[in-house]
Amino acid sequence: LLLSPGQRIGGGAGGGGGVPQFTEADADAIRDQIGGIKFAIATSQRPVVAIANGHNWSTIIAGAANDYFAAGNWELASGRTFELAEEEAGAAVCVIGETVRREVFGGTIGQTGLGSALRIKQFSCQVIGITKPKGQIGMGDQDNSIVTPLKTFLRRVSGNSQIGLIVINMTEGADSASLKSSLTQLMRERRKLGDLKTGGADDNFNIFDTQQLADTLSGTMGLLTSLLGAVAAVSLLVGGIGIMNIMLVSVTERTREIGLRLAVGALEGEVLLQFLIEAVVLSALGGLIGILLATAASIGLSSLMNLPYRFDPAINIFALFFSGLIGVIFGYFPARGAARMDPIEALRHE
């Protein structure tokens, strides 16, 4: 669950402008007073520019406790996370994502940059850990982030004690609806909103169930995948029909040539194979052009959006193979017609 400040407007979640933020005490109260909670982590974040080795990179810095990494299933490629003493002292240490490491330090994945100083705003932090890449989620890059101890963030980045988000992890088997109800009641008490039944104020906080959000996103992606699949199927059908028409025209224009080959002893299978090969080459050539255009478009979009591009040979080989298969399927009928021609009638053709 994600707990954020904000006013509900017309059934939706409004922004947090003018609404009281949270404090570390709120996260402690949630963890201590509500059962079924594994983690309740106070965190805040800001957009910043990270600078090192003459390079700068726009990223997000977050302040959080060490449990943040376990709650988010973050694994380390190298280094370590915060120690308790560093959290309590507000030490100038940080753990960075792979995108930040690559853009600022370059070099070896998960290694280069470890132990180096990274300047953020008016302070520098020592990189003590680098997380393993997690990739994109929606339109965001999960690896484009820096995490420092919460006290470090509040003192050196935000300059206040306000918390913008509380991340809550439930224990195995906990009831989400019951937990959300208890959480709502506790936060209303702590924020002195009163009882809604007796004229109390509306909630000035929002509770988001990330599992529901993930299910909604998954359903949307599934629908988009189905639509793209339908478009691709129609495109393949149109392309296959086009290949079949071209091959039918080719067979018609080369009728005398086919008749001559059959008359001098060519086997039906040889003629069939000849035209099938022509159909496959034609189809595979179209597939190759499509792969090149798609690769160029992907590289262009990746560069435009500052995202890494990864070439997947397996997908491209499969696409080329499937293009050839379309040639076999739609080229078989014209090829069979050519192979079964009567040589005498074919030689008479004008």
**What is the tens place of the pLDDT at every residue in 110-168?**
567 788 899 987 789 999 999 988 877 655 788 899 999 999 998 888 888 888 888 88
- Over residues 307-329, the mean pLDDT reads 85
Q: At residue 46, what are phi and psi to the nearest 5 degrees?
A: -145, 150
- Over residues 207-231, the mean pLDDT reads 82
- Supply the pLDDT for residue 207: 82
Confidence of residue 345 (pLDDT cuts 50, 70, 90): confident
- Supply the pLDDT for residue 245: 93
Map residue 279 onto helix, strand or coil.
helix
Q: Which residues of 56-86 are buried (b: 16+ CB within 10 A; e: fewer)?
A: ebebbbbbbbbbbbebbebeebbbebbeeeb
- Supply the pLDDT for residue 10: 45
Cβ contact 150:61 at 8 Å: no
Other CB atoms within 10 Å distance of the CB of residue 341? 19
- Tokens 């949307």 sit at which residue? 220
174 has pLDDT over 80: no
- Supply the pLDDT for residue 301: 82
pLDDT one-digit tens code per residue, 49-75:
999 888 888 999 999 988 888 888 888
78 has pLDDT over 70: yes
- Over residues 172-196, the mean pLDDT reads 82
What is the model's pTM? 0.61
Rg (CA), the chain: 31
Average pLDDT, the chain: 84
341 has pLDDT over 80: yes
- CB-based contacts of 44: which residues, under 8 Å, 6+ apart? 62, 63, 150, 153, 154, 158, 162, 163, 164, 165
